[in-house]
């Protein structure tokens, strides 16, 4: 996907873009296990023959066809990173499909039509990039950063001396009651990074079909952030999501229709497409389908060649495609 002005898409009945909390999912990639966890690597002999990607706020579906171009079977680890999740997602208007589970997007995968089990890796990483996974485990803190119940329990059970130490290390946010000196507020300061992975054999000279289905993490707000953003932030949003004059005109008409009594809300989602460049050659055949929630939504994203094919559907195709940018989507609606 190319994030260039020429890729802007605007439609009178609907527009694609994204602002506010950025939540994204990722393409398959080969991976290896190193100290500190999984690392995505590049494959020199496995081609992604095709990718068929469907994106909506209700479901993500992606079908890959892989081909081993060498003369011997290749067994490698294949990884699929889930969206990064921080504590702010527990307090923001973001829908986590299954917030109490490591598989919080109900991710399922199949190979050649057969469902297969997956391993999961969960890492706790600070904004500085420091991996504090083992520290979190040793302290007995919950990994589910958006679980109010788990963190309320930790708040009552974590020893005060350890809590102070973890705060000083930047692992947690901590406030003490000024009257009692007891813990009044305890929340994680790290980001949870979750990756599903599996060992996959690619037989020589045969295609392998891999399919993923899951529910996306959808962000949003009652008042669209693009409308209320300051000058600098608004300019950044326009650049990030290829918002053009057609989109702004459609938004003006929506605001006029809404009147003063109704707020224009937004829904946002994304997909990390760039990990699809970790295979031997460009993706042979790439197809993207985007389904918006309703015909009257307006929607914008950077996608050169995206065409409207139905009241709520947009499609694009590419050959010999090397993804350079990720997909980021925002949908605005008058309700």
37: confidence class by pLDDT, cuts 50, 70, 90? low
329 close to 45: Cβ distance less than 8 angstroms: no
Residue 13 pLDDT:
27
Residue 261 confidence (pLDDT): 62
Q: Does residue 16 surpass a pLDDT of 50?
A: no
pLDDT score at 18: 25
How far is residue 185's CA from residue 177's CA, in Å, rounded to a whole number? 8
CA distance linking residue 187 with residue 144, whole number of Å: 11
- Longest CA–CA separation in the chain, Å: 72
Distance CA(291)–CA(294), nearest Å, equals 9
Residue 54 has pLDDT above 70, yes or no: yes
36-56: average pLDDT:
77
Residue spans per domain, the chain: 5-132+190-334
End-to-end CA distance of the chain: 30
Cβ proximity of 279 and 270 under 8 Å: no
Structural contact between residues 41 and 32, judged by C-beta atoms closer than 8 angstroms: yes
User: Which tokens go with 271?
Assistant: 């997909």
Per-residue pLDDT, 3 = 32
Non-local (6+) Cβ contacts of 111 within 8 A are: 200, 208, 209, 210
* Residue that the structure tokens 């923001």 belong to: 92
Reported as type and span, the H/E element at residue 110 is strand 108-111
The confidence band for 91, taking pLDDT boundaries of 50, 70 and 90, is low
- Over 90: is that where the pLDDT of 125 sits? yes
Residue 262 CB-density burial (10 A; 0-12 exposed, 13-18 middle, 19+ buried) = exposed
pLDDT in tens, 139-172: 999 887 777 788 888 989 999 999 999 999 999 9
Per-residue model confidence (pLDDT) at position 302: 87
pLDDT category of residue 29 using cuts at 50, 70 and 90:
low
Average confidence (pLDDT) over 85-105 = 69
Residue (of 266, 310, 265, 319) closest to 291 by Cα position? 310
Length in residues, the chain? 335
Q: Report pLDDT for 30.
A: 56
| Alpha carbon distance 274, 26 (integer Å) | 8
CB 237 within 8 A of CB 92: no
CB burial of 322-332 (b: ≥16 within 10 Å; e: otherwise) equals ebeebbbbbbb
Better-predicted residue by pLDDT, 300 or 258: 300
Token pair listed for 327: 């997909």
How far is the C-alpha of 149 from the C-alpha of 146, rounded, in Å?
Answer: 9
Write out pLDDT tens, residues 238-267.
888 888 899 999 999 998 887 766 688 888
pLDDT at 22 over 60: no
- pLDDT band per the 50, 70, 90 thresholds, residue 318: very high
Spatial separation of the C-alpha atoms in residues 108 and 213, rounded to whole Å: 5
More confident residue, 276 or 298: 298
Confidence of residue 123 (pLDDT cuts 50, 70, 90): very high
Residue 213 in tokens:
């289905």
Of 217, 255, 235, nearest to 332 by C-alpha is: 255
For the cut 60, the answer to whether the pLDDT of residue 14 exceeds it is no
Residue-averaged pLDDT of the chain: 81
Specify the higher pLDDT residue, 38 or 295: 295
pTM: 0.75
Distance (Å, rounded) from C-alpha 157 to C-alpha 140? Answer: 10
Higher-confidence position of 163 and 38: 163
Q: Is the pLDDT of residue 9 over 60?
A: no
Q: Could you tell me which CATH number the domain at 5-132+190-334 has?
A: 2.60.40.3680
């Amino acid at each position: 996907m190319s994030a260039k002005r020429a890729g802007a898409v605007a439609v009178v009945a609907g527009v694609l873009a994204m602002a506010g909390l950025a939540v994204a999912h990722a393409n398959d990639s080969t991976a290896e296990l190193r100290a500190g966890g999984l690392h995505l690597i590049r494959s020199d002999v496995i081609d992604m023959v095709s990718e068929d990607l469907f994106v909506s706020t209700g479901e993500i579906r992606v079908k890959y066809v892989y081909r081993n171009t060498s003369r011997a079977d290749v067994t490698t680890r294949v990884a699929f990173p889930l969206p990064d999740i921080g504590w702010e997602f527990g307090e923001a208007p973001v829908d986590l499909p299954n917030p109490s589970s490591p598989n919080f997007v109900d991710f399922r995968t199949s190979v050649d039509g057969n469902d297969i089990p997956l391993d999961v890796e969960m890492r706790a990483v600070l904004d500085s990039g420091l991996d504090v996974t083992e520290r979190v485990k040793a302290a007995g803190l919950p990994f589910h950063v958006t679980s109010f119940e788990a963190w309320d329990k930790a708040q009552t059970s974590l020893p005060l001396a350890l809590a102070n130490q973890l705060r000083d290390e930047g692992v947690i946010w901590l406030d003490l009651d000024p009257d009692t000196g007891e813990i009044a507020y305890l929340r994680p300061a790290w980001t949870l990074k979750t990756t599903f992975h599996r060992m996959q054999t690619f037989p020589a000279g045969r295609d392998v079909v891999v399919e993923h289905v899951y529910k996306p993490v959808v962000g949003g707000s009652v008042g669209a952030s693009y409308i209320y953003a300051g000058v600098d932030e608004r300019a950044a949003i326009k650049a990030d999501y290829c918002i053009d004059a057609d989109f702004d005109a459609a938004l003006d008409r929506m605001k006029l229709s809404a009147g003063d009594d109704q707020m224009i809300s937004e829904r946002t989602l994304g997909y990390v497409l760039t990990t699809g460049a970790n295979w031997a050659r460009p993706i042979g055949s790439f197809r993207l389908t985007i389904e918006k929630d309703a015909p009257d939504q307006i929607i914008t994203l950077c996608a050169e060649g995206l065409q409207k094919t139905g009241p709520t559907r947009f499609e694009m195709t590419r050959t010999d495609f090397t993804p350079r940018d990720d997909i980021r989507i925002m949908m605005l609606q008058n309700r």
